[in-house]
Amino acid sequence: MKNQYLLTGGLLGLLSMASPVFGQNYEQIAKQIVNTSAGVKPGELVMITGGQHTLPLMEAVAVEVARAGGQPRMLVNTDKVAHATTVEIPESAIQTSKSNSWTLGADVLISLPSIDDPKAVSAGFTEERQAKFAQVAADGGINRKVDATKLRGVSVAYPSRSFAANEQLDYPSYEQMIWAGIGADYTAISTQAQQLKQRLATGKKVHITSPTGTDLTFQLAARPVFVDDGVVTAADQQEKMYLSRAAALPGGRVYVTCEETSGMGRLAASPSTWNAKPFKGFKADFKSGQMANAKADMGDEDFQKWLALRDASSMKIGYFSIGLNPAMKGQKDYTPSTAAGMVLVGIGGNELQGGQNKGATGANFPIANATVEVDGAVIVRNGQLVSPATAKAAPVSKKNRK
């Protein structure tokens, strides 16, 4: 969903309406975001974006940026405004967001979730409108523009009661997991990520299987491999591609694009959500990289509407990722991509990730309990990361090839 923001000066009124998460030391978290993850330096312009519900942490981040000598600027969204700028705005007025120029002119972007209740905000947001927003964004060339800047970014999660309710999650457990994921041991995660990066950078063929029926192969094609280990290092800041200058909290993921015409086999996704609704039993076939026979047992109507408005570029296999954060766990239909051992397969445009598909949009599908082989060496087995010392070219059990 395309996000719009409100530039605010005095935020006291909104801050009084925001509900702080009990017991969280926002100052400590802000120090981690600003000093460790983003590495803000004196004189840098730092854009801080988020929603009304994230204001306590946004404020703490802005204060820490100032203490580091940076120049903080806050862009705040509300659910009501988000709904208006996506659903109520006249279709003829849909255009590239002018606020992009503010972001592209910054040195650092620290982004928190701009929407508290995705289900309420997306009510009435038709597939036709979604497709138009996506096409306008693609036509605006934002991917090329952001790569051409020196902008670096940190994307920070924030627990939301509305989101937890929509996902049918136990809020205290979900909240605790998010904060634990943000505070994970990123030194250990980085070490593991670099080992996987080396394997994927030199690998050629990936084979993914799962107990639910995934049996999918594709080629890697010597594309850039991205590591999200929660920190944008000084070396990262010099990289040409934006995603190499970006990190997430909770972080912990390694990802790479696929040769777009190489996907063969079947994908059986784990339960997730589509348009903030349950999406279960999804299966699709791939031949020469193109997805076909895609259908879900639950949530298929919305998916088919989405599918009908997309061209062939949106149906091509695009990228895959492996989660590395041990604090992040899948719960019911919630399948965080950063959860250790979680596999994600994406379709559609992958230009920002270093691929050749310039398509306007795409989608991704989680595969829990997957086994992943690279050139015959197992790097994930039954949803568990395999250490490089034990990864070896060995046949996977028949159970996972069903």
Q: Are 385 and 340 in contact (CB under 8 A)?
A: yes
Of 65-69, 129-133, 205-209, 251-255, the poorest mean pLDDT is in 129-133
Rounded to an integer, what distance in angstroms lies between the CA atom of residue 55 and that of residue 114?
A: 10
Q: What is the pTM of this model?
A: 0.86
For residues 339 and 328, is the Cβ–Cβ distance under 8 A?
yes
Which range is least confidently modeled, 156-160, 212-216, 357-361?
357-361
Give percent of the chain with pLDDT exceeding 70: 91
**Overall size of the chain counted in residues:** 402
What pLDDT, on the 0 to 100 scale, is given for residue 167? 86
pLDDT digits (tens, 9 = 90+) for 91-118: 889 887 777 888 899 999 999 999 999 8
pLDDT of residue 361: 85
pLDDT at 390: 55
Exposure letters 193-218 (e unless 16+ CB within 10 A, then b): bebbbebbeebeebbbbbbbebbbbb
Q: Which of 127, 140, 136, 115 is nearest to 87 (CA)?
A: 127
Write out pLDDT tens, residues 41-92: 999 999 999 999 999 999 999 999 999 999 999 999 999 999 999 999 998 8
Tens of pLDDT, residue by residue over 152-192, are: 999 999 999 998 998 889 999 999 999 999 999 999 999 99
Q: Which residue would you say has higher pLDDT here, 391 or 331?
A: 331
State the pLDDT confidence band at 389, using cuts at 50, 70 and 90: low
- Separation CA 247–CA 227 (nearest Å): 8
User: Quick check: helix, strand or coil at residue 106?
Assistant: coil
pLDDT at 20 over 90: no
